[in-house]
Amino acid sequence: MTQWTRFGAVIALAAVIHAAPVAAQAKPAAKPAAKPAAGGAAGGEIALGDSLFHGAGNCYACHGAKAEGAIGPNLTDAEWIHSKGSQTEIAAQITHGVTKEQSKSGIVMPPKGGGTLTDDQVKAIAAYVYSLSHKS
């Protein structure tokens, strides 16, 4: 990351911290479901993960509405910084977040995106995120 994008990210992060609670409330999260993962995750679980990603999980605030990357990295490509990108690893990542020590950019990810998600909700979000980079 260049100095400039890093600076931009910090500004954006500050904006997110102020905007996130409002955005989370204002957004009912109705988006069409992504294609089911090739691995066979149930379409319903992916659709649930999609709405949580754009709602209670707050993921969109840092990773972008299309998970294309913003403050947090792009989740739609084949490049994974912290794991090999399996669905199980993604679920663990969501549960634990990314500490300052682990973070490549120096920006932290709070566990469960800073929200309160059940294990099943974490699993659903992981299925959705996995599906983004495994479209058939």
Least distance in angstroms from the C-beta of 31 to ligand HEC: 15
Asked if 104 touches ligand HEC (CB under 6 A), the answer is yes
Query: Binding residue for ligand HEC (CB under 6 A) from 51, 76, 87, 93?
Result: 93
Tell which positions 23-52 bind ligand HEC, by CB under 6 A.
Answer: none
Instruction: Say which residues have a Cβ less than 8 Å from residue 71's Cβ, sequence separation at least 6.
Output: 9, 12, 13, 16, 62, 63, 107
Q: Are 25 and 58 in contact (CB under 8 A)?
A: no
DSSP string, 63-100: H-TTSS-SSSPPSSSS--SSS---HHHHHHHHHH-B-T
Question: Among residues 123, 110, 119, 135, which one has the least CA distance to residue 48?
Answer: 123
Number of chain residues interacting with ligand HEC (CB under 6 A)? 29
Among 45, 73, 123, 127, binds ligand HEC (CB under 6 A): 73
**Residue 70 in the binding site for ligand HEC (CB under 6 A):** no
Instruction: Return residues touching ligand HEC (CB under 6 A).
Output: 57-59, 61-63, 71-73, 75, 80-83, 90, 93-94, 98, 103-105, 107, 109-110, 112-114, 125, 129
